[in-house]
Structure 1
Amino acid sequence: MQLPKNTVYTVSRLNGEVRQLLEGQLGKIWLNGEISNFSAPGSGHWYLTLKDSHSQIRCAMFKGRNQSVTFRPANGQQVLVRGAISVYEPRGDYQLLIESMLPAGDGLLAQQYEALKMQLAAQGLFAQDTKRPLPENIRRIGVITSPTGAAIRDVLHVLERRDPSIEVIIYPAQVQGEAATQTIIQALDIANRRLEVDVLLLTRGGGSLEDLWCFNAESLAHAIYNSALPVVSAVGHEVDTTIADYVADVRAPTPSAGAELLSNDKGNKLQKLAVAASRVQTGWQHYQLKSERRLSLLQHRLSQQDPVHALQQLTQRFDEMQLRLESTLARRLSQLSLRQQKLSGRLEQQSPRHRLDTSQSRLGYLSKSLNEAMHYRLEKATEKLQHQAGVLGSVSPLATLSRGYSITSDAQGQVLTRATDVQPGDTLISRLEQGKVHSTVIDIILDVEPAG
């Protein structure tokens, strides 16, 4: 028995289609489990098994992904991972390709972070077209941070080294703990009410996800988005990313990087200032020369111009313009009147009354045609019926009776065709053209001997 080609799978094809099915149906999932069989070969990839009390699944986390993990996984450790189900086709093993990994204790915060991130992105708070550019010439920076933390020291050190002329106003705020979010929002509000700085730098040093959690509040995200002043977010280290980073107009990877972003090197600034001064001097000289030439030209033209003659020219031009306006208006009114007449004629042709009269005339014609067709069909049907009735009458047994024949049947109504079907003493019924005759068999006479 031969099977159709499309029903015979190779092993490679089967594993490939199973992989596509799993990847397409489940998408990205969160998984909580205990690490076992952890290995980190020289390639930089991680391979492990996640298990619970009843089941286990093989997992892989490739080098590009595991570099963002802030801890070293170990066997027996409980973790929360996010990834996609796939199939390792050479062995036919189904596995989880891990994209992110957190200690199980940080798992709830991570899920809350992802959910809020998706919500605010849908509301448009991360849209690039709403980001404001930083001012070109920054003279005063407002820093929202803890006044005793390491971040403010790094910021002040960078600004002192790069551009001592920039003034710094510190808006004190807690940057860790339950009350931190509210104090940051209050500092933003104060800065926006005073409007005494060119830009705001929201910053603090690095820490765990829980340490930086105050920068992941929805209320702070809306406060940054609604700020009248541009906001630069420089929270944590380069690998740390908070909701405040996504909402801010510019994100800097560290507090020091934020200070460098908002300042210019003083040597470069002096060079730019010298170039600008040279351009100003050259521009002034050029403008002065151009103005002197223009003044001389105007004086010459003024000496040749008679104000009375210029007024007469303007008066004549005004009269010409008025005549042209009147002519244009008259022509336009004539065109509009003609167009109105044409539209009125077209409207009359499209009048419902005209269309109704036409429809009624057509309806009368169609009704007459229908009646004539029905009458013709009825006559033809009558003629056909009469003809078929004549044909039927010519072959009817009743027509035979009219020629003197009869139909004989026994007492049960069974039509008789042979004399041998009855016995002496049987009652017979003979049907004539008009009426029936009942008789009794006295004798049977066979005119022809039966066959056989």
Structure 2
Amino acid sequence: MLSTNNPNIYTVSRLNSEVRLLLENEMGVIWLVGEISNFSAPVSGHWYFTLKDSRAQVKCAMFRGNNRRVNFRPENGKQVLVKARLSLYEPRGDYQLIADSMQPEGDGQLQQQFDALKMKLAAEGLFSQQSKLPIPEHPKTVGVITSKTGAALHDVLDVLKRRDPSLNVIIYPTMVQGEEASLSIAQAIGRANDRQECDVLIVGRGGGSLEDLWCFNNEIVARTVAASQIPIISAVGHEVDVTICDFVADLRAPTPSAAAELVSQDQSHKASQVLNLVAALKRAMSGQLSKQHQTFVHLQHKLDKAHPQYRLERQAQRLDDYQSRIEQAMRHYFNAQTKHLIQSGHQLHMASPKRRIDIQSQKVSHLSDKLNNLAKRTLLEKQHQLAMQMEKLDTVSPLSTLKRGYSITHKSDGSVVVDSTVVKQGDTLTTRLSSGEITSTVIDSKPL
């Protein structure tokens, strides 16, 4: 017979605990798209639901602190995009997701694809400044790749005519919106390179929504722009619009009109150099910020795993589970007793002599008293168990720390201030007390 002290023999509790830690540590944060079903929102404020597709499903929990940031009401049958971390609900051994954020599928899917392609191409070096071709200072022929009926072409031609009427312009008409637009743009760039009749190419269109500009975020367009032997200026949308084409191109112009000004300048070639340097600086800053953001996300994930909120969330889910089981047990018990009373009443009705009726009435009264006493005793026991669980939960709650006179200070972005060097003069801080909050402005900060 094997000893239970053998470290190779697991208890169920130990197995579930180690599997939970393995899932949380190895998988980290994931994005998941699916359809909501079995949505439940108990009085605790937490959400419980299932995400499913045509072949599989997974249970999910979203705790009150996170679901307050969701700006729509989840409904069964709704497709959503969820950011979550993998976990395990130890008491039942259920594998589940703990959701941190949720948004309708259509709103987040394009941005998710944009970020993924951006990271992929950046890792391959397609955004590197070393791979950029110089824009000629005095081009003789300019190629314009855009829609032949769009306002962007009209704006470009107007600027070129006003600034340098002698400049040759070759138009390569293409679609700039729709499913076939990406291939059409890539083919137009390919034709210009085959003919080698231009000194520089302007690729772009007027402004629009993210969906309207999506053809310029296509991998085919990005790789075609990167492979072009003719320098390319990306001029997509308005100044606030950013596409993958902007990152890959040799230079990004904020608008099609601005691109036309860049290639048609006479005495303003120094301004072009400044713009090139600014664009290079922006790309370098973007790369550095992206790298720092990845480091921050990694450190934030490690910090989150050590946060008391994790334990509070697990305890909160366990408390909701206990409450649900208590309510279900009470319903079953009362239903059984009610059925028994009905059967006793029927038997009493069938025995018509008054003496038997009186005896049965006394029995019914006794059973009723016994039922009430048992119900009260059961309810008191369950309330006592619930109070003990709540007391255990309260011992690890940050609110207990606040009641002892401590406080938690947050910056305006929600991050916790643990070091005076992360704030500067003029920052607005919110200090959480045991009762209420204080909003203050930093006058000075000094490290210890």
TM-score, with structure 2 as normaliser: 0.41
Larger Rg: 1
TM-score of the superposition, structure 1-length normalised?
0.40
